[in-house]
Amino acid sequence: MVLDTHIWVWWVQGDPQLGPDRRQTIQANEATGLGVSAISVWEVAKLVAGNRIDFGRSAAEWISTALAYPGITLLPLTPDIAVESCNLPGTIHRDPADQIIVATARVMACPLMSVDAKIAAYPHVEHA
């Protein structure tokens, strides 16, 4: 399963926005793997740099800890994912980071967990 950036942050931070059902789904998939796109690392760093999120420590420290969570695998931005993000069928976010996350889930043939309304409505990716 691929975690959208906000899901990853909420899980690591213990944010109640994640909800018990999503938390249970994540925990149930720890053994089989939880993917975090490399672009999510960039998004978190940008949020910290722009003072839109404060973890009480540097972005680098938070990311290092968050990538060590059980089952987490950092998924690289491969050429296949880059190309797929530019050729997604139908209409999806104009946000390139979201396109890359969706493309990552599609190329990896994994469900994507997100609460983003546009991603949730996108029929060309499996939803977790």
- Helix crossing, 96-108 with 38-49: angle to 10°? 160
The pTM of the whole model exceeds 0.75: yes
Question: pLDDT digit string (tens) for 51-103?
Answer: 999 999 999 999 999 999 999 999 999 999 999 999 999 888 789 999 999 99
pLDDT at 58: 97
What is the C-alpha separation between 59 and 14, in angstroms, rounded? 17
CA torsion 83→11→6→99, rounded to 10°? Answer: 10
Average pLDDT, the chain: 96
Q: What is the pLDDT of residue 68?
A: 96
All domains of the chain in start order, with CATH: 2-120 (3.40.50.1010)
Helices then strands, counting H and E runs in the chain, come out as 7, 4
Contact 111, 127 (CB under 8 A): yes
